[in-house]
Structure 1
Amino acid sequence: MVSAEEAVFDYICPFLGCLIASTLFAAPINDLRKSLRERTLGSLNPNPWAILTGNCLGWCSYAYYTNDPFILASNLPGLVLSFWLNMGAAKLQYLAQVDAAIANRFDKTTEPATTGTTLQENIKESLIYSPQDVLFLRVVIIWSSVLVCVGWLGYFQGHETQAIGVMVNINMIFFYAAPLETMKTVIDTKCSDSIHSPTITLNCVNAAFWFLYGVARRDIVVWGPNSLGLCLGISQVALCLWYPKSGRQEGGGEMEFEPVSTLDADPDDSDDEPEGIHPIPVTL
């Protein structure tokens, strides 16, 4: 017979945690879609999305070794969604770099350092990589190496759960620490536009439920990082309350961009800046 306390902490809390986690992972969808339409990331910080991939992949692995369906159900949707978030952020960063290359090519104040290079060469160079690609690949490579060592090479035979648990905790620290730079920006600018309010709110609620679930199961791998996440989430909520938003849309600015139709143009044939070029800043 399951007691009321066991039902709440062992079943109700993780079930609600699964629902809230899925809502948390889906929180940036509308903002990213808006950014894709406007062709700029604006104030969105995509770095946590790459860490999210490693976080969900690690928790899915931990769920496999602990046979915990709740942890698997709460992280598998986030793993799939994180791929789309990272691809969307990379697209916008590539677009920003291409627009910047075009703008620099036709900027009269540009130093003669680019003399001898064509516009196509500048664009090709801007498409070599984006910051989001680099971060995402680093996360995937690290977790792939860990899973190969644990699951195939057997370096931690008999201690697979502990090994994955340690790595998950390390990843969770980076996941929850990713907004720290944003927090510094908020304090410096005295404006919380760069904090994604829906994500932070759901993050706090999600961390609270999983903290209770980890305490109930006496699993420090679960309650440890979530207690840290809860504290950091509350700190960001406090910053949002202390430094209100300026009223701008979180998904990006109000700029609209026309298709660039002068990619094959020779900049030396005209003294005027061609129409249709609207540079956006490179997001790093």
Structure 2
Amino acid sequence: MACATFTAPLASLKEAIRTRSLGDLNPLPWAVMTGNCAGWIAYSYLVQDYFVLFANAPGFMLSIWLNMSAVKLQFCETSRYDALGEDDAGAHDADAGIDMQLYTEDGPDADDVGQSIRRRRTADKSRAPLEISSVPSTSHLTTPHERALLLVAAAWVVILSYVAFAPAVKRNVGLDATVVGLAVNANLMFFYGAPLSAIAKVARERDSSAIHGRTMAMNTVNGVFWSVYGIARKDAYIYVPNLMGVGFGIVQIVLKWVFPARPTTSIKSSTETLS
């Protein structure tokens, strides 16, 4: 169940990579996932729980790929607007909007779509080619997701270093598991609550597109199963945060129900349209 939770955003990320834009996809939970899995792996070593280890090790490795992809996509988006300029980028988006309008309002007209695509390609060719080496500015040396990921990683370096070297921890048997357990509980709260970082946007726009449906569902179900497991083992470090995670999941379900996601219409490729 944990592995199914970690793979929930894969389909959406593949689509984002295809379109070279994150769009409404919120990558913050992936940065928190890295810290969450790293913390649970450390906790599993301390309490000798193989189920916790094998449930989180695949998630840790998968989170690396998710985060790398998010960073690349954010870099592409930032580079495009830096290189083209806000006006040119807006014009490019407007051209894409024309194609979308042809599908959503007048129905798919192959001739009109083909002409629109050819006009945009001609305009793109008239622009000077982009030199990747000159794209990044000093204000964009790091992407927002890189900063979030580095913050999570730094926090866990400090926590694990304290557990490994602090004299107070060495003198008290079981204190290391307590410290890591409390830290990973806090991290898990951020993991379950990270999708709620978009709650202001959801309420303002009355659109829950920023809440990833599959991740929301799998997080809630995963929280239920881990809560039962933690109760069976009488391990409060497992069942307390997961019960709270179930609560976060219910909040997101309510938001999805009150503010349904607006339907999006994908643009077909020119090959499919003109064939």
Name the TM-score, length of structure 2 as normaliser: 0.76
Match of 1:142 among 155, 161, 164: 155
User: Amino acid of the residue matched to residue 208 of structure 1?
Assistant: V
Distance 2:141 2:267 in 1: 28
Q: Deviations over 1:131-160 (max 9, x none)?
A: 111111111111122112212455412211
Match of 1:203 among 208, 216, 219: 219
CA shift, 1:125, in A, is: 3.3
Distance 1:108 1:52 in 2: 33
Corresponding residue pairs, total: 226
Contact 1:149–1:155 at 8 Å: present in 2 too?
Answer: no
Q: 1:167 to 1:220 in 2, by over 3 A?
A: same
User: Amino acid of the residue matched to residue 167 of structure 1?
Assistant: A
Contact 2:81–2:89 at 8 Å: present in 1 too?
Answer: no
Contact 1:94–1:126 at 8 Å: present in 2 too?
Answer: no
User: Amino acid of the residue matched to residue 35 of structure 2?
Assistant: G
Distance 2:18 2:195 in 1: 25
Flag structure 2 segments of 5+ consecutive residues without an equivalent.
91-130, 270-275
Distance 2:87 2:224 in 1: 53
Structure 2 match to 1:242: 258
Distance 2:135 2:51 in 1: 49
Structure 2 counterpart SS, 1:179: helix
Q: Deviations over 1:107-147 (max 9, x none)?
A: 599xxxxxxxx996553436511111111111111112211
User: Amino acid of the residue matched to residue 51 of structure 1?
Assistant: V
Distance 2:168 2:217 in 1: 39
Structure 2 match to 1:101: 82
User: Amino acid of the residue matched to residue 35 of structure 1?
Assistant: A
Q: Percent identity?
A: 35
CA shift, 1:57, in A, is: 0.3
The answer to whether residue 56 in structure 2 is matched with residue 43 in structure 1 is: no
Match of 1:133 among 146, 156, 159: 146
Alignment of 1:1-284 (within 5 A): 20-104=1-85, 121=134, 123-125=136-138, 128-157=141-170, 158=173, 159-248=175-264, 254=267
User: Amino acid of the residue matched to residue 213 of structure 2?
Assistant: S
CA shift, 1:106, in A, is: 7.1
User: Amino acid of the residue matched to residue 25 of structure 1?
Assistant: F
Contact 2:44–2:53 at 8 Å: present in 1 too?
Answer: yes
User: Amino acid of the residue matched to residue 202 of structure 1?
Assistant: M
CA shift, 1:205, in A, is: 0.5
CA shift, 1:177, in A, is: 2.1
Contact 1:97–1:126 at 8 Å: present in 2 too?
Answer: no
CA shift, 1:184, in A, is: 2.5
Q: 1:248 to 1:212 in 2, by over 3 A?
A: same
Structure 1 match to 2:110: none
User: Amino acid of the residue matched to residue 249 of structure 2?
Assistant: G
Contact 2:80–2:89 at 8 Å: present in 1 too?
Answer: no
Contact 2:71–2:146 at 8 Å: present in 1 too?
Answer: yes
Q: 1:78 to 1:243 in 2, by over 3 A?
A: same
Q: Deviations over 1:234-277 (max 9, x none)?
A: 1111211222221127xxx7598xxxxxxxxxxxxxxxxxxxxx
CA shift, 1:217, in A, is: 1.6
Instruction: Kindly report the root-mean-square deviation, in angstroms, between the aligned alpha carbons of the 2 structures.
Output: 2.4
Q: 1:224 to 1:238 in 2, by over 3 A?
A: same
Q: Deviations over 1:19-40 (max 9, x none)?
A: x110110011111111011000
Flag structure 1 segments of 5+ consecutive residues without an equivalent.
1-19, 110-117, 257-284
Distance 1:228 1:40 in 2: 32
Q: 1:244 to 1:141 in 2, by over 3 A?
A: same
Q: 1:119 to 1:202 in 2, by over 3 A?
A: closer
User: Amino acid of the residue matched to residue 134 of structure 1?
Assistant: R
Structure 1 match to 2:115: none
Further displaced range: 178-187 or 74-83: 178-187
Name the TM-score, length of structure 1 as normaliser: 0.74
